[in-house]
Amino acid sequence: MTLSLAFFQSRYNVEVSTATTAPAGPAQDRHKLRFTRRERVMLWLITWLGYISIRLIGRTLRYSVRIEEGGPSDLRSHPLILCFWHEGIFVSTYVFRDQKIGVISSHSFDGEYTGRIISKFKYVPIKGSSSKGAIRAFLGSRRHLEQGNTVAFTSDGPRGPAHIAKPGPVLLGSKTGLPLVAFHIAAEKPWRLRSWDRAMIPKPFSRALLCMSKQFTVPVDNSAVEMERCQAELQAAQERVRNFAEQNVGRVGEPEFPVQKI
């Protein structure tokens, strides 16, 4: 077992097999969930309600984009390892739509409807989570990146604590050599859900500011000390872009923050 996999195992508290296993993408996922009739009806309703809400509200927002020096050239640069906080799933789903971005989706009821919603925006659900199927999710993510696609992580998901980045993106960066980029989309006076992440629901026709960090890479197959340093860099990047976006979203429309078509 390599140092990086040992690091992953200790942080996620999961068993890691050293056997060679073909990574399983969404099309290969043979895990069959059994839902009750009521749950199947709820899944259908939540999926369509979520899709319609994101589509309708997302297209009304007035967006501005700020990318740090050394960041991606635009919102459609690939492949990248994108990292953002769980609170921003709603608006992020709309902004990065139609790019075949891979997103880890758990086997839970919540993970199932989330996967169905994002699939309608042309995301690729990768089954697994930090609490179950972590290695499967890691292998599926690596394969998706190796095919030239981007993978996005809610770094503090699926259960928190909020705004504390987990090590999955850093480990993936150390195994692929691909750059990590943190981003945050602030919405002007959004509605907030009473959930652990205080998820944001933007108000129609409000302003939104997307801030993306500079790219940084993780040296391949690092020591545990270096992995911790890179983890701290990711945490700092996510805090930095969130603070900037939240502090300046009210200025969208000013010359320094022109409205842009997303």
At 213-225, the pLDDT tens digits run 999 999 987 788 9
Report if pTM > 0.75.
yes
At residue 131, the pLDDT reads: 58
- Alpha-carbon distance 14 to 130, whole Å? 9
At residue 62, the pLDDT reads: 98
Model confidence at 18, pLDDT cuts 50, 70, 90, reads very low
At residue 130, the pLDDT reads: 59
At 158-171, the pLDDT tens digits run 889 999 999 999 99
What residue ranges do the domains of the chain occupy? 61-92+131-251
Q: What is the mean pLDDT of residues 209-214?
A: 98
Q: What is the mean pLDDT of residues 101-128?
A: 91
One-letter amino acid of 199 = A
At residue 5, the pLDDT reads: 44
